Structure 1
């Protein structure tokens, strides 16, 4: 059995600390030196654990302002799963850019009035999610599914279906980045407007810009500790 890395043990202690202290979303975590002292570990181990929590979007580190909880719990994904996703994510994002850029272009050419309404409703759903403080993940899923349907390309739709699980992971990774949900919503709006106007090139460009934003995630800059 592989022995857990020290900072993985620290992650569990931090999770327990948050629960026992009754900390909630928006609350500030103690300083690294104080956490190290209270948990009985080195500051370096605390720092490594904080980075993993930041990668997972569970905390937000503000320059000069401390570290804050994004959610009320620290339900940490196993580090090995993070490492595996880090390996796969670039390929998934490449596939998304190739497929979804073309789907947006085709949707601008082929969409029906009903399909355009489906895209708009998905946009509204995500807007409501974000307004209520959520990540907007279900609205995001509905939006991209509606664009795919409006493209009327059964083969491209099948390709999208074949990587649906990986797309969900990339969506989760992107939308939990600080400040990302409203930015994603604005980009969805630009895609919708281009499709509504029947402008294929503009729709493709807007989708390409969006997927490249999706690719800007903390996970890809993380270097796992041995």
Structure 2
């Protein structure tokens, strides 16, 4: 009896598709290494850097945001972009891709936790909580008026709302994913026009909390998180 034919070897899995900004991030980390830049060194202005790399300023800006999210560079208002540490080429690109891949899950988690937190804050907030929320709004508004993205003010606002919910367990869960949320915060607030839109969303949330309306507060927070989810890393077209 003849033996069954040996099945042909399986094809290797198709390599992951690379988004254009990931390619530029890899190109940029190579440029940083080639030019011997180290922590604290400043990158050239975006227009000049885009010309050197042969890419559009929009694509370069997205790549810089991706590198900022994973800690390779820092964007300082009024001082440009600086290198924060060693850029490990392939390691950095893998970190950028991993961030983009987990963004939807981070946003889903934010929506679940923060919508409930806003609802609780509307029923449990104290005068001190409202004062802290107002201080955060003022800080973010001042930063945005000065041309900054308002990342710190945004962070302070959400921390104030979380505190106003007076739920230690929810606060602990928010702290656990704080680093991941900061990634989405940087990515979102780097979109054109987003800081002012985000500030308007914060004010709607604050108004509902101040009015003691849990349904309105939850709805306002949900709408705000949906705005955050509209980020370039999710909508960018991958390149083969």
Please tell me whether residue 140 in structure 1 is matched to residue 154 in structure 2. Answer: yes
Distance 1:53 1:79, change over 3 A: farther
| Uncovered stretches (5+) of structure 2, i.e. residues with no partner | 1-21, 36-42, 67-77
The answer to whether the 8 Å contact 1:55/1:219 transfers is no
RMSD between superposed Cα atoms in Å? 3.1
Does residue 190 (structure 1) correspond to residue 204 (structure 2)? The answer is: yes
Cα displacement (A) at 1:142? 0.6
Deviation of 1:156 after TM superposition, in Å, equals 1.2
Q: Does 1:209 align with 2:223?
A: yes
**TM-score calculated relative to the size of structure 2:** 0.69
Task: Give 5+ residue unaligned stretches, structure 1.
Answer: 17-21, 40-44, 59-69
Offset of 1:79 from its aligned partner? 2.5
Residue 67 of structure 1 is matched in structure 2 by: none
What is the aligned length? 193
Shift of 1:215: 0.5
Decide which of 111, 114, 122 is 1:100's aligned counterpart: 114
Q: Is the 8 A contact 2:65 2:186 kept in 1?
A: no
Question: Quick one: distance in 2 between partners of 1:132 and 1:175?
Answer: 14
1:72 corresponding residue in structure 2: 80
Matched residue, 1:115: 129
Question: Distance between the aligned counterparts of 1:180 and 1:120, measured in 2?
Answer: 20
What's the TM-score, normalizing by structure 1?
A: 0.73
Specify the structure having the higher radius of gyration (Cα): 2
Rate the CA distance shift 1:10–1:199 in 2: closer, same or farther, 3 A.
closer
The secondary structure found in structure 1 opposite 2:80 is coil
Equivalent residue number for residue 54 of structure 1: 62
